[in-house]
Structure 1
Amino acid sequence: MILPETFAIPCVGAIIARQVGGVRCLLIQERLKPGAGIENGMLEVAAGKVREYENVFAALRREVGEETGLRLTRIAGENTAITRTVNGYAVMSYTPFCITQNLSGGYSIILHTFICEAEGEPLTQTDETRHLRWLPLAECRQRLRDRPEDFYPLHINVLSLYLGQEQP
């Protein structure tokens, strides 16, 4: 009996930083997704799945809007993306800040994370998140170092890379 193949789910994520009260901060939220189980309550950046044939930049804007209420004004790499249409195929090439793949646990995801700028004020809770807040970079670094288990696993490496931390 041949079992059907299961494929990784493409996702996009946004690192959104901003000065708040003179301190550089990252937008961090607590995960609150239906059926997420033990992952609920973990700290994460805004992220979500890319729909079939959806442009990754449109998916990122949609997900950030749904999860935070913010409007992205800049996505690093969007201006250098190349799109070509040949033989009925529209194909886009782009460079995210970081690509992360989980190799076990939960469900299989390949996450393309971008550095973004946004306008507006974050909501405090949505259907998929709660406790959205601007976390000072120093506090985020400390928490990643001391309690990495508090973070959604797919975001640990990219946040560490962004914050300039060494990997254990």
Structure 2
Amino acid sequence: MELLAKPGVGGIIEHTLNEVHYILLQERYKDDAPLESGMIEIPAGKIREFENIFDCLRREIFEETGLEVTEIEGEHESIIIEMNGYKVVTYTPFACSQNIKGDYPIMVETFICRVQGNIITQSNETKNVRWVSLETLKEMMLKHEGCFYPMHITTLKRYIIYRESRR
């Protein structure tokens, strides 16, 4: 039997206050992955069969953080076509990552987004949901990279470079 990778989506949720850039981080707690418990991650999850990736991102962020997505970068540039019984969405994410070794075969496409609402500090999959400044994120990545969920490390490094280039 052929085994396939699972498609997923993640969100770098950003917020600016008094010209300081923040992103939302959380700690991973999944019953089926106890070795990953406590790792720092961004909100992410699996895409349901035929679920629009943007709808999935909104759902996952709400389930894990309690926040409502108000903007996903690139969503307005996406194109949907319907033809021959198919409905296809074409889009460009901020970053893509794939586990090519390990216990879980997943591919995650990550988007930058903005939200509104109040954070829940814990869900059935996450704990310690919080805003972290870009400077604090840089320091955390430098000193404690091993504490981050591997799927998100390079994406977060890329985001830091991206955000710093826009200052």
TM-score (normalizing by structure 1): 0.93
2:152 aligned with 1:155: yes
1:133-155 CA-partner distances (Å, limit 9, x unpaired): 10111111111122111000000
Please name the residue that 2:33 is paired with.
36
Match of 2:87 among 84, 90, 100: 90
Please name the residue that 1:81 is paired with.
78
- Tell me by how many angstroms 1:23 deviates: 2.9
Runs of 4+ residues deviating >2 angstroms: 19-23
- Determine the C-alpha separation between the residues in 2 that align with 1:28 and 1:11: 17
1:37-69 CA-partner distances (Å, limit 9, x unpaired): 211100000000000000000000000000000
Aligned length: 162
- Determine the C-alpha separation between the residues in 1 that align with 2:74 and 2:154: 19
Percent sequence identity over aligned pairs: 44
- Determine the C-alpha separation between the residues in 2 that align with 1:98 and 1:149: 20
Any conservation in 2 of the 1:20–1:134 contact (CA below 8 Å)? no
Secondary structure of 1:163's counterpart equals: helix
Q: Give the aligned residue type for 1:15.
A: I
Match of 2:58 among 41, 57, 61: 61
Q: Where do 5+ consecutive residues of structure 1 fail to align?
A: none
What RMSD, in angstroms, separates the aligned Cα atoms of the two structures? Answer: 1.2
Please name the residue that 1:8 is paired with.
5
Secondary structure of 1:29's counterpart equals: strand
Any conservation in 2 of the 1:97–1:113 contact (CA below 8 Å)? yes
2:112 aligned with 1:115: yes
Q: Where do 5+ consecutive residues of structure 2 fail to align?
A: 163-167
- Determine the C-alpha separation between the residues in 1 that align with 2:99 and 2:32: 18
2:135 aligned with 1:146: no
Secondary structure of 1:140's counterpart equals: helix
Secondary structure of 2:161's counterpart equals: coil
- Tell me by how many angstroms 1:19 deviates: 2.6
Higher helix share: 2
2:49 aligned with 1:52: yes
- Determine the C-alpha separation between the residues in 1 that align with 2:103 and 2:20: 35
- Determine the C-alpha separation between the residues in 1 that align with 2:108 and 2:43: 11
- Determine the C-alpha separation between the residues in 2 that align with 1:20 and 1:127: 29
- Determine the C-alpha separation between the residues in 1 that align with 2:100 and 2:45: 18
TM-score (normalizing by structure 2): 0.93
